[in-house]
Amino acid sequence: MRRRLSASVHHEGMEKANGKPRPSRLCFLATLSAMFWIMIFYFHFTVLSSNSINNPEQSVSYSIPSKSQRISEAYEALELPKMKVQSQLKPSDQQAPEVFPFTRALQTIDNKSDPCGGRYIYVHDLPSWFNADMLRDCRKLSLWTNMCKFTGNAGLGPPLQNAEGVFSNTGWYATNQFAVDVIFNNRMKQYECLTKDSSIAAAIFVPFYAGFDIARYLWGYNISVRDSSSLELVDWLMKRPEWSVMGGRDHFLVAGRITWDFRRLTDSNSDWGNKLLFLPAAKNMSMLVVESSPWNANDFGIPYPTYFHPAKDAEVFIWQDRMRELKRRYLCSFAGAPRPGNPKSIRGQIIDQCQRSKVCKLLECDFGESKCHSPSSIMQMFQSSLFCLQPQGDSYTRRSAFDSMLAGCIPVFFHPGSAYIQYTWHLPRNYSTYSVFIPEDDIRKKNVSIEERLKQIPPDVVEIMRETVISLIPKLIYADPRYKLETLKDAFDVAVQAVIDKVTQLRRDIVEGHEDKDFIEENSWKYALLEDGQRMVGPHQWDPFFSKPKDGNGDSGTSSAEAAKNSWQNEQRSQV
């Protein structure tokens, strides 16, 4: 201690001799303390932070919340891709460790400044041999009909002359009932929210003429030829990056034929159609057809094309007003031919009842010349009738139902498969507001007189029903694809929005971890009738109509194939 004190005194004396003031002990300690904290901060922010950036996996570990884990499991169950976030995350950000590839598409919905937010459509640019080659060989699209004249005018066919004053002076065409492929594709070119950025698309459209493709190969070709284009299409789509985002669940296409043409049950050459809708990849897509299957979930019914294709709203309003003012001298009418080869058909009984009635107008359709094949004759009859009888055709549905509603005629259906479970996007779920339902068995067993049943409806109720039918006209017609309606939504607009809503809901369910484990595909027709927010189905009054024996594919087996064959025989009949 003495030695250290002596040195201190000597040091102090030297500083005084040099004329420098001696710093205080407090100042010296403060300097040491500052240097210590500088070293601490340097070590923390330079050394530790560097190690954390270079080795993120060695940084603090955060556990995935249970909800996120459920989302991941639901995503994997749907066999959809997912992307891991590889950047550093703060603890607050760690609640969402996975980002779904379709997030941008959902985010556009919240962009209120974007009029197309949540409505963008991306259209695949297919190789020319899918569609262009088909149209060049349009004579081969049907065995009995020269489809070349029907693919003109953007798919509308030749203009109709209005010599008898039945139509309007503009907007009327001799449109083929199977021309929706071309009409829909050309309408899509006018869609106001097309995008070349698939990441923001609400849905992805596949512009493949599926109906025309199968039409050219249905007779006289083996299954390899019939399936070739479908297999090539699916192979092409699955190689596209857009497909991998949702495994095709955001894709949709249109076919202007009934679903049974695309549901061949076996690989026997004697079986009908191709197997497009049974291909695993196609089961992920949505296919819009003029008649869908009650027992399958990957197809949806859209209206048959009528003869009316307005270019602007005013043409629709003028037509609606004209249909309201017409004097209708017939209680009911029927245009069609009997089906003597089908013991289940009630057409024979309907024709008999109509022939015996003084208030029923009948147009019999069969081989040879017939007014049934004249658009003017058909529309004139519908315009003069309060009710139009619409039994099943060769399959559940008929184009005639839409022609009659276009004329402001109240449809009378005899099977729920003819409209009520088919066109749920375009027609009210409460079928009694716009139509009359008389069960087939009541006609078959001769328990009901159609005339007496219709006369029981009060005139004021008939007036309300007819007004409902007339108000539905815009949603049931396809506007001229070369133009665009100003405010009205046509059948195309309704269908596209329904697809968008379907895909958007699927995306939200995936993000929120919802999975409907109780879904039964064979009950697809019941799900279509559920109100918004409902998910469960149970017994239904129409169960007896759809309780046919099913095979392993959830289809109606040979009955549907026979119906498709019969529809082609009827097409042949109409061309003779």
Instruction: Give the helix ranges, DSSP H, for 78-147.
Output: 103-107, 128-136
Comparing CA positions, the residue from 419, 420, 406, 422 lying closest to residue 475 is 406
pLDDT under 50: residue ranges of the chain: 1-23, 43-98, 549-558, 569-576
Comparing CA positions, the residue from 297, 303, 302, 301 lying closest to residue 527 is 297
Cα–Cα distance measured from residue 567 to residue 316, given in angstroms and rounded to the nearest whole number: 31
What is the number of other CB atoms lying within 10 angstroms of the CB of residue 188? Answer: 17
pLDDT of residue 71: 38
Tell if the pTM clears 0.85, that is, is over it: no
User: Which residues face 437 on adjacent strands?
Assistant: 413
- Going from the C-alpha of 542 to that of each of 95, 238, 473, 533, the distances in angstroms are 47, 38, 27, 22
Residues in Cβ contact with 506 at an 8 Å cutoff, skipping those fewer than 6 apart: 246, 249, 250
* Own/partner pairs, 190-193, CB within 8 angstroms, 24+ separation: 190/481, 190/482, 190/483, 190/484, 191/121, 191/496, 192/116, 192/484, 193/115, 193/116, 193/119, 193/120, 193/121
| Per-domain boundaries in the chain | 102-305+491-534+560-574, 322-476
pLDDT of residue 14: 40
Pairing state of beta strands 98-99 and 83-84? antiparallel
pLDDT of residue 407: 98
Residue that has been written with the tokens 């029927």 in this structure: 334
For the chain, percent helix, then strand, then coil, each to nearest 5?
Answer: 45, 10, 45
Instruction: Look at residue 145 and give its three-state secondary structure.
Output: coil
Contact predicate 526/540, CB 8 Å = yes
Cα–Cα distance measured from residue 81 to residue 202, given in angstroms and rounded to the nearest whole number: 17
**Backbone dihedral region for residue 261 (phi beyond 0: left; psi -120 to 50: alpha; all else: beta):** alpha
Cα–Cα distance measured from residue 395 to residue 348, given in angstroms and rounded to the nearest whole number: 16
Residue 257 phi/psi, 5° resolution? Answer: -130, 175
pLDDT of residue 128: 81
Residues in Cβ contact with 461 at an 8 Å cutoff, skipping those fewer than 6 apart: none
pLDDT of residue 91: 35
Cα–Cα distance measured from residue 575 to residue 219, given in angstroms and rounded to the nearest whole number: 16
Angle at 198 (CA atoms; ends 248, 499), nearest 5 degrees: 55
Residue that has been written with the tokens 């299409």 in this structure: 233
CATH number for the segment(s) 322-476? 3.40.50.2000
Taking only the tens place, the pLDDT of each residue in 223-264 is 999 999 999 999 999 999 999 999 999 999 999 999 999 999
Cα–Cα distance measured from residue 485 to residue 319, given in angstroms and rounded to the nearest whole number: 15
